[in-house]
Amino acid sequence: MILLLGILLVLFMVKVYVISTIFAEEIKTIQKRDPAARSVFEVILLYQGLHALIHHRIAHFFYRKNHFLTARWISQVSRSLTGIEIHPGATIGRRFFIDHGMGVVIGETTVIGDDVLLYQGVTLGGTGLEKGKRHPTIGNTVVIGTGAKVLGNITIGDNAYIGANAVVIKDVPPNSTVVGVPGRITKQDGKKIDVSLDHIHVLDPIMQTVEALEKRLDALEKKTKP
């Protein structure tokens, strides 16, 4: 019995060593981006985002060798264990981090750059039953807030920030912040965008009309005040 426990312990330590070597970059990223992560051991043991990524790297290997059933099986086992569903076909860059994780879905033709951070409940999905490239392409250093949905074959530019619960269905230029449903750009290159003046990044024409009406109403109220 003691011998068996000893063997299991050694196997476990070997596994921890292998993961900490192969996924050193990702572990460092987690420690950098999540102040709650205190040690490498804690990250390896408890971070579902890391577990999902490890499973995905293995599933993606089988997917690329055309072993689609094995790949999907690994991906589904991972989903049961982590609550994160990454299709084995998805291409994911370096230092990827899914924080909290539960409820994340990443579609088959998604392409994700380096240093991307997703929070729980993010969907990188398709919009219908179309075939071919039907999921988003996410640039480098993009952050996608909790519950956000990024849908269709669109491109999210480098350094973009997608706000919590946004629904994004159109391309997003680099260095922009997008919020709302449907997503509208509120900031670009560090500058706030006045939606009423912006005719290039029109993502929500209804919102613009409402805002224009609001301004006219304010002006009328001021005029008619005694």
Ligand X SMILES: CC(C)(COP(=O)(O)OP(=O)(O)OC[C@H]1O[C@@H](n2cnc3c(N)ncnc32)[C@H](O)[C@@H]1OP(=O)(O)O)[C@@H](O)C(=O)NCCC(=O)NCCS
Of 145, 152, 172, 176, the residue at the interface with ligand X (CB under 6 A) is 145
DSSP annotation of 79 reads: H
Taking the complex as a whole, the smallest distance from the CB of residue 174 to ligand X amounts, in Å, to 15
Of 186, 188, 203, 204, the residue at the interface with ligand X (CB under 6 A) is 186
56-65 core/surface letters (b: 16 or more CB in 10 A; e: else): bbebbebbee
Taking the complex as a whole, the smallest distance from the CB of residue 43 to ligand X amounts, in Å, to 17
Of 72 and 100, which has the nearer Cβ to ligand X? 100
With beta carbons less than 8 A apart as the criterion, state whether 118 and 135 touch: no
Paired with 177 in beta bridges are 161, 187
Question: Does the protein bind ligand X through residue 146 (CB under 6 A)?
Answer: yes
The count of residues interacting with ligand X (CB under 6 A) is: 13
Of 177, 188, 203, 204, the residue at the interface with ligand X (CB under 6 A) is 177
Q: Tell me the window of 65-73, 74-82, 175-183, 203-211 that interacts with ligand X (CB under 6 A).
A: 175-183
Question: Does the protein bind ligand X through residue 62 (CB under 6 A)?
Answer: no
Question: Does the protein bind ligand X through residue 175 (CB under 6 A)?
Answer: no
Q: Which amino acid is at 130?
A: E
User: Side by side, which strands form the sheet with 97-98?
Assistant: 97-98, 117-118, 143-144, 161-162, 176-179, 184-188, 191-192
Taking the complex as a whole, the smallest distance from the CB of residue 29 to ligand X amounts, in Å, to 16
Question: Does the protein bind ligand X through residue 107 (CB under 6 A)?
Answer: no
Distance set, CA 167 to CA 91, 126, 147, 151, 190 (Å): 22, 12, 9, 8, 21
Q: Tell me the window of 70-78, 150-158, 159-167, 215-223 that interacts with ligand X (CB under 6 A).
A: 159-167
Question: Does the protein bind ligand X through residue 121 (CB under 6 A)?
Answer: no
The pair of structure tokens assigned to 137 is 């392409």
Question: Does the protein bind ligand X through residue 165 (CB under 6 A)?
Answer: yes
The pair of structure tokens assigned to 120 is 């729980």
Distance set, CA 2 to CA 6, 7, 10, 99 (Å): 6, 9, 12, 37
Question: Does the protein bind ligand X through residue 164 (CB under 6 A)?
Answer: yes
Which residues are near ligand X by CB under 6 A? 100, 119, 145-146, 161, 163-165, 177, 179-180, 186-187
